[in-house]
Homo-oligomer: A and B are copies of this chain.
């Protein structure tokens, strides 16, 4: 068993458990750390971070790698500080993690770490967008008191998530309008049988509104014609795109839906990370 091809999965949530299991399923030796007591099927065991670093040539950090200034490791018994001791564990390793900038900013020692950020890979971002869209559909099925089939839905934004969401909602029989800006998005939306709208006041009432835009697009004026009780799902990162105060005033129901891939499809999310890491290893 070569150190150079032994993976250490350090921190994270259920996605990382599936990531470790999937790497092991491909035949690699894999250890986990800070991921709960046991280790997924096929893995070699769970180790403290120092021992993990001693045995593994490739270290996989979670997505995002840090949360509130410590390692993103909700399954660990105690917070793991991202101090210089931590960074020293990574020296001489090949390190892959998601959203590494905050870590890099925290210590100049990072300059000596050989690290890649997998959250820059288009295939991972696209795959996550599909998982987010499917999760949003699942959430809407649970939270909306009617059925999506035959309902009238609005999606704001026609980026990665908006595209996947429009297709999924159409696939379930919803009527889909979508707010977009670019002429090219209007063209595609029309061809798909969705109605493109400019941003601004929504003239029609909707059954469910999905916001994917991390900018204030669903303002008080935009929302003023929506009916009491209308469901809004906030899919964009905080502070999102919905005027919460106005929504409360109009009696609209806003549900925050962050991190859907990790919550509703950890297996697929973990496998997407694996594919991205493999692709980066091949290119390196």
Q: Is A193 an interface residue (CB 8 A)?
A: yes
A226 to chain B, nearest CB (A): 16
B-contact bits for A166-190, CB 8 A (1 contact / 0 none): 0110111111000000111011101
Q: Which of B135, B164, B170 contacts A171 (CB 8 A)?
A: B170
Q: Closest Cβ of chain B: how far from A122's Cβ, in Å?
A: 4
The residue that A264 contacts in the complex, of B141, B173, B191, B275, with Cβ under 8 A, is: B141
Contact B138 A191 (CB under 8 A): no
With contact pairs A137-B172, A193-B175 given, residues A130 and B149 touching in the complex (Cβ less than 8 Å): yes
Q: How many Å lie between the Cα of A184 and that of B163 in the bound state?
A: 15
A19 CB to closest chain B CB (Å) equals 12
Which residue in chain B gives the minimum CB-CB distance to A193? B173
| A148 within 8 Å of B (CB atoms) | yes
Is A279 an interface residue when CB atoms closer than 8 A count as contact?
Answer: yes
When chains A and B are docked, how far (Å) is the Cα of A132 from the Cα of B272?
Answer: 31
Confirm or deny: A147 has a beta carbon within 8 angstroms of a beta carbon on chain B.
yes
Contact status A130-B145, CB under 8 Å: no
Does A266 count as interface, using CB distance less than 8 angstroms? yes
**Identical copies of this chain, number:** 4
Asked if residues B187 and A173 are in contact (CB atoms below 8 Å), the reply is: no
Q: Please tell me if A93 contacts chain B, counting CB pairs below 8 Å.
A: no
Q: Is A254 an interface residue (CB 8 A)?
A: no
CA distance A126 to B170 in the complex (A): 20
Cβ–Cβ contact A123 & B266, under 8 A: no
Q: Name which residue of chain B comes closest to A186, CB basis.
A: B123
Q: Which residues A115-141 have CB closer than 8 A to chain B?
A: 121-124, 126-127, 130-131, 134-135, 137-138, 141
Q: Decide: B122 and A184 in contact? CB cutoff 8 A.
A: yes
Specify which chain B residues have a CB less than 8 angstroms from the CB of A149 in the assembled complex.
130, 134, 168, 190-193
> A206 an interface residue at 8 Å Cβ cutoff?
no
Give chain A's interface residues, CB within 8 Å of chain B: 14, 18, 121-124, 126-127, 130-131, 134-135, 137-138, 141-142, 144-150, 164, 167-168, 170-175, 182-184, 186-188, 190-193, 264-268, 271-272, 275-276, 279
